[in-house]
Amino acid sequence: MRALFVVVVWLLAACSRSVPEPAAAPANRVAAPAEATARAPDGPAVDASPAPAGLSPQAEVDEALRELQELEVRMCACSNKACADRAIADMIAMGKRYENTNASDDDMRRAAAIVERLEPCMATALATP
């Protein structure tokens, strides 16, 4: 079992790379759920409180993955650096909140897939003033 926090750290390491020039919108952008399309791309800040109490270990992992997917939708809706910076700040808060959450290899693959889809959106948004 690994801490889900590792995935968020990996994402933040990717942010420190040089940002490529904006490209055409990636084909693998995630369609936003109906409730996410109604709010602004920068959306409400992710709660920085500890992981929800009383959840089973798997339910905590599932909640972390749900939040990561929500952040993916927000990041892919970003069209500029300011929006991407807010989403990154929320990812950092989320990573701290779930830093002690243990995830199975399958859960880690799910998180890595989300991050992989999020990265081109982040690179494009960070390169746009």
Q: Is residue 47 part of a domain?
A: no
Boundaries of domain holding 85 = 1-12+57-129
Q: How far apart are CA 61 and CA 68, in angstroms?
A: 10
Q: Quote the pTM value.
A: 0.66
For residue 68, pLDDT beyond 50: yes
On whether residue 108 sits in a domain, the answer given is yes
Q: Report the number of distinct structural domains present in the chain.
A: 1
Section 25-32 average pLDDT:
41
Give the burial string for 9-36 (b: 16+ CB within 10 Å, else e).
Answer: eebeeeeeeebeeeeeeeeebbebeeeb
Can you tell me the mean pLDDT for 101-128? 94
* Predicted pLDDT of residue 14: 53
In a domain, 4, yes or no: yes
Higher-scoring residue by pLDDT: 43, 54: 54
pLDDT at 27: 43
Tell me if 45 is assigned to some domain. Answer: no
Is 69 domain-assigned? Answer: yes
